[in-house]
Chains A and B, each alone.
Chain A
Amino acid sequence: VIPTHWFLILSGILFSIGVCGVLTRKNGITIFMSIELMVNAVNLTFLAYARQFHQLHGLIFVFFVMAIAAAEAAVGLAIFLSLYHHRHTIDVDEANLMHW
Chain B
Amino acid sequence: MIEFVIFFFFAAVAVIFALVVILHRNPVVGALSLVASLFALAVMYVLLDAPFLAALQVIVYAGAIMVLFLFVIMLLNLSHMHEEPTRPIQQFLGFTSTAGFAIALVYYLSKYAVFKILPPGRFMSDAKFIGASLFESYIFPFEMVSILLLAAIVGALLLSGRSAAQRAKLGVEANS
Contacts and interface: CB of A to CB of B under 8 A. Distances in A.
Interface of A: 1-10, 12-21, 23-27, 29-30, 32-34, 36-37, 40, 43-44, 47-48, 50-54, 56, 59-60, 62-64, 66-75, 77-82, 84-85, 89-91
Interface string B114-132: 1110110101010001100
B75 A81 contact: yes
A77 B27 CA distance: 14
A84 B48 contact: no
Contacts of B21: 17, 21, 30, 33-34, 37
B92 to A, nearest CB: 9
Contacts of B99: 16
Given A8-B109, A17-B98, A70-B152, 15 more contacts: A2-B4, A3-B116, A5-B110, A7-B44, A9-B109, A29-B72, A37-B22, A40-B61, A44-B44, A59-B130, A63-B56, A75-B156, A75-B159, A78-B160, A81-B75
Contact-residue size bin, chain B (C-beta under 8 Å from the other chain): 35 or more
A40 B45 CA distance: 11
9 contacts: A8-B109, A14-B37, A29-B78, A30-B30, A47-B44, A68-B145, A74-B152, A78-B155, A78-B160
Interface of B: 3-4, 7, 11, 14-15, 18-19, 21-22, 27, 30-31, 34, 37-38, 41, 44-45, 47-50, 52-53, 56-57, 60-61, 64-65, 68-69, 72-73, 75-76, 78, 81, 83-86, 90-91, 93-95, 97-99, 101-102, 105-106, 109-110, 113-116, 118-119, 121, 123, 125, 129-130, 133-134, 138, 141, 145, 148-149, 151-153, 155-160, 162, 166
Contacts of A29: 27, 30-31, 69, 72-73, 78
A4 B119 CA distance: 11
Chain B interface helix/strand/loop/mixed:
helix
Given A12-B106, A73-B65, A37 B86 contact: no
A94 B44 CA distance: 38
Contacts of A30: 21-22, 27, 30
Nearest to A67: B145
A14 B15 contact: yes
A86 B45 CA distance: 41
Nearest to B64: A70
B15 A17 contact: yes
